[in-house]
Amino acid sequence: MIKPVTLLCKQKELACAYPAAQAVMSSAFPVIGLHSLPVELLYEVQLHALSESLPHISHHFYGVYKHASPFFHAKYILGRVLEQDELAFAEVYTKALRYPICNEKVLRAIHSLLKEEVPQRKVSIQLPRRLFRSLSPPTSGWTIKDHPIPLLQFLYQTPDIPAVNTNANDGYALTRAVHAKFLPLVKFLLEHHASPRCHDGLAVKVAIRQKDLGMVKTLVERPDSKHGKGSKRRKFEDRITLDSTMLKVAVMSDAKDIVEYLYKEKRVTPDLQTLKKLNF
């Protein structure tokens, strides 16, 4: 497997990295000719070298590689990922998803390029932090079409893609979704086995500090199920057991409706310090 080569703007180094470029860049072509290379050749150079540095040589190179097709980006990512030690199918996706250029279209291209010879082992895909780190609510409000939901839908709903660990990085995805008040994403993650128990219930504590009772209930309570017309609703067990620490956070945050919910409805027993601050 070809090893990645760091390319600099020096003519000699680029020629060494890719023989075809050496033929083009003869004495008749000064250094400026580097930017006159056909885009197709620049693509071939990068897929051969798999260099992180090449796109940053100039604004021209950056634009060429940034606006390349999803299939080019997919081939570049797979070239970088597959040159490592033998990977399970899920591990290929896990590593590919860490690349900022891996959006939904690139992910679909990766899926179509992957071959069956990638070893199959019982390993799940780990959702990377980058998908959730910079969630910024749009002015029109969150919808199911907002990033990263379309990408996640493809991951979870494509039959031959390995299982996804929604709770990777100690439940980072759910916590960040709650922090951004991204309710459609929170519900999507919960439907795909995200657990608010991760990181000592951090997602719930974030919702409490935001004084968002609706979000707290979404995280804690499972939807009731109703079987058949006129049948009674079946009450499911809560996703997380609420405790005195969460009640204390609610009291300290002056989230009165959440305090009442935890203390009266969920029967959370306060510690002595919190009990003194309750005003019922």
Asked whether the predicted pLDDT for residue 61 surpasses 80, the reply is yes
Q: Is the pLDDT of residue 53 over 80?
A: yes
pLDDT digits (tens, 9 = 90+) for 72-114: 999 999 999 988 667 888 999 999 999 999 999 999 999 999 8
Q: Is the confidence at residue 13, as pLDDT, over 70?
A: no
Confidence label for 27 from pLDDT (cuts 50, 70 and 90): very low
Share of the chain above pLDDT 90, in %: 65
Query: pTM of the full predicted structure?
Result: 0.75
Kindly write down the DSSP assignment for every residue of the chain, as one continuous string.
Answer: -PPP----S-HHHHHHH-HHHHHHSSTTS-GGGGGGS-HHHHHHHHHHH--SSGGGS-HHHHHHHHTS-HHHHHHHHHHHHHTSS---HHHHHHHHTTSTT--HHHHHHHHHH--TTSPP-S-PEEPPTHHHHT----TT---TTSTTHHHHHHHHH-TTSPPEETTHHHHHHHHHHHHTT-HHHHHHHHHTT--TTHHHHHHHHHHHHTT-HHHHHHHHPPPPEE-STTPPEEPPPPSS---HHHHHHHHHTT-HHHHHIIIIIS-PPPPHHHHTT---
pLDDT tens for residues 177-226? 999 999 999 999 999 999 999 999 999 999 999 999 999 999 999 987 44
Q: For the segment 109-133, what is each residue's pLDDT rounded down to a tens digit?
A: 999 998 655 555 568 999 999 999 9
